[in-house]
Amino acid sequence: MNILIIGAGGFIGSNLSEAILNQRKDWNITAIDISSAKIQSLLGRPNFNFIQSDILTDFDVVENAVRNCNVVLPLAAIASPLMYVQDPMKVFELDFEANLRIVKSAAQYKKRVIFPSTSEVYGMCADEAFDEENSCCVTGPICKQRWIYSCSKQMMDRVIYALGIRDGLDYTLFRPFNWIGPKLDDITNPQYGSSRVVTQFLSNILHGRDLNLVDGGNQVRCFTYISDGVDALIKIIENNKNSAFRQIFNIGNPKNEMSIRDLAHKIKDLALNYDKVKENAMNVKIVDVSSGNYYGDAYQDVNKRVPSVAKAESLLGWTPSVNMDELLANTMSFYFK
């Protein structure tokens, strides 16, 4: 099978590519990204062909790669909350417009698409656990620009679904719930809000900066270790008995439910175990900050985000297995050892 991974140099793409090369000698990967920093160790390996390319401009390269694959995973996107409020048009142009072009090519050339939706599409849905078939997608007013990410992804989901009906597109949508692990974000970048929450806390500790609890840190998230996420993706690619055909799957770990406040305290305590950051960890404080001050007025948050994974369990035979302690230990060892 020829697999095209666009955004292969990112967190999910790099971990997925490595797992495929280690587990599936019969699969070939064509990897497209603007950066190869996280996949240096994969370059030159058999079955791995890297093309450095920008999907915002190199349309022919991307179209040609789609034409030559069996399945495409378009993973290139901006997934940083700070960018949703600072440069919403850039988010729209990459996450929606550039990805729409790829998905339409896949429909034209009859290729299978495995597309990353997001837990953010459920937005402020009040359900106890989000369900792929019944939960509503609830976003805020237009002036809260942070929703442009959620809406871009939701619209991609709807277009892909519609292409399935109109053009017979073969697709699977997967919705990651806070996947965490090695190679997530570059924590040497000290900018506030530029990383996802776990790596933001690690970065702050590395730089001796306080950990900020935005609006009290009472927001609850379910953290999912990257190897569990990658296992689910490999099952989706395998598609045994066509079990992933035109399905939407939440891929998250409902057992790893934790508030951001508890997460900050846990990370600060665990950081004491690493010589590299021990002293900083003793000195940094956990402080409250309003979302307006941290992200700007265009921000709005989601209180609780818990997935139902019943569908992934029954159709894919997938269950997440890495608990919160292991997830944090593995991730912190990667960054601090």
- To 10 degrees, what angle do helices 324-336 and 197-206 make? 40
Distance CA 186, CA 170 (A): 34
The CB-nearest residue to ligand NAD is: 10
Query: Whole-number minimum distance, CB 335 to ligand NAD, in Å?
Result: 15
Query: Whole-number minimum distance, CB 285 to ligand NAD, in Å?
Result: 27
Nearer to ligand NAD by C-beta: 12 or 309? Answer: 12
Nearer to ligand NAD by C-beta: 11 or 48? Answer: 11
Query: Whole-number minimum distance, CB 55 to ligand NAD, in Å?
Result: 4
Distance CA 127, CA 257 (A): 15
Burial of 332 (0-12, 13-18, 19+ CB in 10 A): buried
Query: Whole-number minimum distance, CB 228 to ligand NAD, in Å?
Result: 11
Task: Answer whether 109's CB lies under 8 Å from 138's CB.
Answer: no
Nearer to ligand NAD by C-beta: 75 or 103? Answer: 75
Task: Answer whether 100's CB lies under 8 Å from 266's CB.
Answer: no
Nearer to ligand NAD by C-beta: 84 or 336? Answer: 84
Query: Whole-number minimum distance, CB 108 to ligand NAD, in Å?
Result: 20
Query: Whole-number minimum distance, CB 56 to ligand NAD, in Å?
Result: 4
For residue 22, what are its two tokens? Answer: 């280690």
Query: Whole-number minimum distance, CB 282 to ligand NAD, in Å?
Result: 30
Cβ atoms within 10 Å of 134's Cβ, excluding its own: 8
Task: Answer whether 250's CB lies under 8 Å from 312's CB.
Answer: yes
Outline where DSSP puts E strands in the chain.
2-6, 28-33, 48-52, 71-74, 112-116, 171-176, 179-180, 211-214, 220-222, 224-225, 247-251, 257-259, 286-289
Nearer to ligand NAD by C-beta: 213 or 251? Answer: 251
Nearer to ligand NAD by C-beta: 195 or 300? Answer: 195
Nearer to ligand NAD by C-beta: 281 or 322? Answer: 322
Query: Whole-number minimum distance, CB 294 to ligand NAD, in Å?
Result: 20
Distance CA 147, CA 160 (A): 20
Nearer to ligand NAD by C-beta: 55 or 298? Answer: 55
Helices of type H across 3-80: 11-23, 59-67
How far is CA 217 from its chain centroid? Answer: 21
Q: How far is CA 275 from CA 37, 198, 230, 324, in A?
A: 26, 19, 30, 22
The footprint of ligand NAD (CB under 6 A) covers 7, 9-13, 33-35, 54-56, 75-77, 79, 94, 116, 118, 176, 178-179
The C-alpha angle 116, 120, 126, rounded to 5 degrees, equals: 135
